[in-house]
Structure 1
Amino acid sequence: MATEKDIRHQDSVCTNESRLHHKWYCNLKYLLVGIAFGIVFVKAEIISWFRIQEMFRFQSFHMYGVIGSAILTGMISVFLIKKINIKTIHGEKISIAPKKFNKGQVYGGLIFGFGWAVTGACPGPLFAQIGTGALAVTVTLLSAIFGTWVYGYFREKLPH
């Protein structure tokens, strides 16, 4: 029987962990997909500080269109995974744990958005920005890593 603490922190448990073990070079496919995504991010100007600033100033639809299409793609994907029981490429079942809303998500979203507006970078495209030579973004990357560590350190003490 799950305890209240288990249920409260259910989002920290990965229920889709693969039981299969592969050689290290099998992970190269993820590197290649990451590089492809980085190229797409650069070409689509998703990593552009100017595009991000346009979005936060409500001057352009570009980023809203990208984010909206990503949300729509995610919604359709989750629907299909649940509806027709799609499995991983290795035949393993995919289970999506239910999430319970709490006010911390609003606070976290506001902090995330503020950091995104100030730095012109969100975590995904950071590496693509650094890859284009914007080495100042390394400060943002290190700050994101530090912020993640701080959150992990204080997580049990934060209100739920």
Structure 2
Amino acid sequence: MSGGRFEWRVLGFGTVFGALLHQVGVTDYDAIAKMFLFEDFHLMGVMAVAMVVAGLGLGIVRRARTGPLAAYAAAVQPKPMKPGLLIGAALFGAGWAITGTCPGTGLAQIGEGKIMALFTVLGMLVGAGLYLRFGATLERHLRR
């Protein structure tokens, strides 16, 4: 919502993005399990293409000096490595392997009617809430 009105563009983009996720198979639990078991490399290829496209997009944004992308260029800066990132990455990977979903695909799975994805998305929200509550304390302890 922006200024009290519904953003139909956001809903449209999300719907198209979810349909694309479904089409390439990243919302299929069995396909994700096969990827993590190194039995099928299709999804790894999909992710590799996504990373290349994202990298090219970031490169374009970082070189923007004027126009609508210039505002984003300042925000796209390298961030320092923090110990908490390793813990977060391990938790993210474990959750992805166990549930067969990550944040984007979880919402797409709900759109497909996969009720179990509701529990995954609920877990993501609980985890985000716990991080908001305890993240600063955890980072202080990790810096010691």
TM-score scaled by length of structure 2? 0.86
Q: Separation in 2 of the partners of 1:100 and 1:87?
A: 28
* Shift, 1:61, TM fit: 1.2
Could you tell me how far apart the structure 1 residues matched to 2:84 and 2:67 are? 32
For residues 65-76 of structure 1, what are the structure 2 equivalents within 5 Å? 65-76=45-56
Separation in structure 2 between the aligned mates of residue 70 and residue 103 of structure 1, nearest angstrom: 26
**Identity over aligned pairs, percent:** 28
Alignment of 1:11-90 (within 5 A): 24-25=5-6, 27-85=7-65, 87-88=67-68
Structure 1 residues 149, 131: CA separation in 2 closer, same or farther (over 3 Å shift)?
same
1:130 deviation in Å?
A: 1.1
- Alignment equivalent of 2:117, drawn from 131, 137, 145: 137
The equivalent of 1:3 in structure 2 is: none
SS in 1 for 2:65: coil
**Cα distance, 1:59 vs. partner?**
0.8
The aligned counterpart of 1:9 is none
Task: Say if 2:64 and 2:70, in contact at 8 Å, map to a contact too.
Answer: no
The equivalent position to 2:71 in structure 1, one of 81, 93, 97, is 93
More helix by share: 2
1: distance between equivalents of 2:51 and 2:70?
25
Verify the 8 A CA contact 1:80 1:86 in the aligned structure 2: no
Distance 1:85 1:64, change over 3 A: farther
CA RMSD of aligned residues (A): 1.8
1:110 aligns with 2:95: no
Structure 1: give runs of 5+ residues left out of the alignment. Answer: 1-20
Offset of 1:98 from its aligned partner? 2.9
Number of paired residues?
A: 137
Note the residue ranges of structure 2 that are not aligned, 5 or more in a row.
none
Q: 1:132 to 1:93 in 2, by over 3 A?
A: same
Q: Distance in 1 between matches of 2:26 and 2:67?
A: 30
Q: 1: distance between equivalents of 2:46 and 2:67?
A: 27
